[in-house]
Amino acid sequence: MKNLFTIIDNNTSYTLGKYHNNQIIYDFNNTLEYLEVKGKQRFGEHFRIYKEDHNLIYKLMIYTIKDKTSCTANGINLNKGILLTGPVGCGKTTLMQLLPYIHPQTRPYGLFPTRNIVIEYNTNGSDTINKYSALRTMCFDDLGAEPTGRYYGHDSNVMAEILVSRYDLSQGQSSKQNKQTHLTSNLNAHEIEERYGERVRSRLREMVNVIAFPASSPDKRS
């Protein structure tokens, strides 16, 4: 049918929704099925979507497809990025890698492990901070797992510097120009403040929507 929104993947058609008044109305169940297909392609046949994660995935989905009405109803600000928190192994990184597939109109963002950024800083110093402060959408993976940076004997909280710099550079940008900062972390909001200080926590309140897996979420890698 002409009004169906379909993605062709490996010669297979997946209908994620339908067009209505020049907008795509997504079918949540169909989209979940497609996410599972992409997950199996990228991470292996063991991958699956867990029913207990549906509500969290729904919030991530309406953010990704920019459903203003649903985002407003769920307290999600489309001008902010995402801070996805939860226990080790609950699927944070995996979901942030898969979500762009459901909305091909959105340019995929780079996903950068914070440990690797600090290793890069230890070699290149402030050039690394400037690189990751650039105003383009990025996802910083595993915030809080990185060590302290050290360059020519000078210790630095590298991710704190990058986050504050991204916040400062974003001020004065219009919503159309806004380039989001996405993060995954095993830390909760209080632990982030302890690790990075009130200044960073204050900036993050303005930069990201916090979406959290329950603390009881199991390690899906085991």
For residue 79, give the nearest of 184, 206, 175, 168 by alpha carbon. 175
Quick check: is 196 in a domain?
Answer: yes
Alpha helices (runs of H) in 44-181, residue ranges in sequence order: 54-64, 68-73, 92-98, 114-124, 126-133, 158-170
In this predicted structure, the answer to whether residue 177 has a pLDDT above a threshold of 90 is no
pLDDT in tens, 86-121: 999 999 999 999 999 999 877 789 999 999 999 999
For residue 196, give the nearest of 208, 184, 204 by alpha carbon. 204
Asked if 57 and 101 count as a contact pair (C-beta separation under 8 A), the reply is no
Quick check: is 219 in a domain?
Answer: no
Quick check: is 222 in a domain?
Answer: no
**pLDDT of res. 131:** 96
What single-letter amino acid sits at 36? E
Higher pLDDT, 175 or 211: 211
124-143 burial, b for 16+ CB within 10 Å, e for fewer? Answer: ebeebbeebbeeeebbbbbb
Number of domains comprising the chain: 1
**pLDDT of res. 78:** 95
> 103: part of which helix (H) or strand (E)?
none
174-191 burial, b for 16+ CB within 10 Å, e for fewer? Answer: eeeeeebbbbbbbbeeee
Quick check: is 62 in a domain?
Answer: no
Domain residue limits at 179: 78-212
CATH code, domain with 99: 3.40.50.300
Quick check: is 208 in a domain?
Answer: yes
Quick check: is 3 in a domain?
Answer: no
In this predicted structure, the answer to whether residue 23 has a pLDDT above a threshold of 70 is yes
Quick check: is 14 in a domain?
Answer: no
List, as own/partner pairs, every contact residues 52-58 make where C-beta atoms lie below 8 angstroms and the sequence separation is at least 24, other chains included: 52/217, 53/91, 53/213, 53/217, 56/211, 56/212, 56/213, 57/32, 57/95, 58/28
Quick check: is 2 in a domain?
Answer: no
Higher pLDDT, 80 or 20: 80
pLDDT in tens, 42-72: 999 999 999 999 999 999 999 999 999 999 9
Higher pLDDT, 141 or 136: 141
